[in-house]
Structure 1
Amino acid sequence: MRHPQGSTTPDEPLVVRLRELRDRTGLSLAALAARTPYSKSAWHRYLTGTQRPPRPAVEALSRLAGADPAPVLALWEAAGEPPAPSPPEQEGRPRSRWLPLSLALLATAAAVAAALTVAGRPGAPAPAAQTLLTGPRCHAHSCRGELPDASVCARDAQTKGAVSDSGYDVRLRYSPACGTAWSEVHVHSPQAREVSVRAGQDLLSASYPADDSAGYASPMLAVRSPRGVEACAEVGGQLACTGLDVEPAGEG
Structure 2
Amino acid sequence: MTDERQRLLAELRLLKRRTGLSLAALASVTPYSKSTWHRYLNGDQFPPRAATEALARLAGTDPGTLLALWDTATREQPGPTEAPVPSVRPRRPRAPLRALAALAAMAATVALTAGAADVLDRDTDQAVASCRGGVCQGALPSSETCARDARTERVVTRAAQVVRLRYSPSCATVWSEVRTRLGGAREISIRAGQDELSAEYPGHRSDGYSSPMLATADPRGAQACAEVGGKPVCTGPDR
TM-score (norm 1): 0.48
Residue 177 of structure 2 aligns with which residue? Answer: 184
Shift in alpha-carbon separation, 1:191–1:44, aligned structure 2, 3 A: closer
Give the 3-state SS of the residue equivalent to 1:194 in structure 2: strand
Q: Does 1:159 align with 2:173?
A: no
1:240 Cα deviation (Å)?
1.0
Gaps of 5+ in 1: 1-26, 52-59, 66-130, 247-252
1:64 Cα deviation (Å)?
8.2
Shift in alpha-carbon separation, 1:243–1:220, aligned structure 2, 3 A: farther
Q: How does 1:172-211 map to 2 (within 5 A)?
A: 172-211=165-204
Residue 218 of structure 1 aligns with which residue? Answer: 211
For the Cα contact (< 8 Å) 2:31–2:212, is it kept in 1? no
Q: What is the CA–CA distance in structure 2 between the aligned matches of 1:237 and 1:29, rounded to whole Å? A: 22
For the Cα contact (< 8 Å) 1:30–1:40, is it kept in 2? no
Shift in alpha-carbon separation, 1:212–1:142, aligned structure 2, 3 A: farther
Residue 74 of structure 1 aligns with which residue? Answer: none
1:175 Cα deviation (Å)?
0.2
1:211-233: CA deviations, max 9, x gaps?
26231111111111110111111
Residue 43 of structure 1 aligns with which residue? Answer: 57
Shift in alpha-carbon separation, 1:210–1:217, aligned structure 2, 3 A: same
1:14-36: CA deviations, max 9, x gaps?
xxxxxxxxxxxxx83678xx997
Q: Does 1:145 align with 2:138?
A: yes
Q: Give percent identity, aligned residues only.
A: 46
Q: Does 1:28 align with 2:26?
A: no
Q: What is the CA–CA distance in structure 2 between the aligned matches of 1:173 and 1:136, rounded to whole Å? A: 15
1:167 Cα deviation (Å)?
2.1
1:140-195: CA deviations, max 9, x gaps?
01111111110121111100000111121100000000000011111114321111
Q: How does 1:129-140 map to 2 (within 5 A)?
A: 135-140=128-133
For the Cα contact (< 8 Å) 1:138–1:151, is it kept in 2? yes
Shift in alpha-carbon separation, 1:64–1:137, aligned structure 2, 3 A: closer
Residue 6 of structure 2 aligns with which residue? Answer: none
Q: Quick one: which amino acid aligns to residue 153 of structure 2?
A: K
Q: Quick one: which amino acid aligns to residue 54 of structure 2?
A: K
TM-score (norm 2): 0.51
Q: What is the CA–CA distance in structure 2 between the aligned matches of 1:181 and 1:40, rounded to whole Å? A: 21
Q: How does 1:39-78 map to 2 (within 5 A)?
A: 39-44=53-58, 47=60
Q: Quick one: which amino acid aligns to residue 196 of structure 1?
A: S
Q: Quick one: which amino acid aligns to residue 29 of structure 2?
A: S
Aligned residues: 145
Q: What is the CA–CA distance in structure 1 between the aligned matches of 2:63 and 2:165, rounded to whole Å? A: 41
Gaps of 5+ in 2: 1-27, 33-47, 65-103, 110-125
Q: What is the CA–CA distance in structure 2 between the aligned matches of 1:231 and 1:181, rounded to whole Å? A: 9
Q: What is the CA–CA distance in structure 1 between the aligned matches of 2:221 and 2:63, rounded to whole Å? A: 46
For the Cα contact (< 8 Å) 1:161–1:172, is it kept in 2? yes
Shift in alpha-carbon separation, 1:49–1:241, aligned structure 2, 3 A: closer
Shift in alpha-carbon separation, 1:238–1:44, aligned structure 2, 3 A: closer
Q: Quick one: which amino acid aligns to residue 43 of structure 1?
A: R
Shift in alpha-carbon separation, 1:183–1:238, aligned structure 2, 3 A: same
Q: Quick one: which amino acid aligns to residue 142 of structure 2?
A: D
Residue 100 of structure 1 aligns with which residue? Answer: none
- Tell me: higher relative CO, structure 1 or 2? Use CA pairs within 8 A at least 6 residues apart: 2
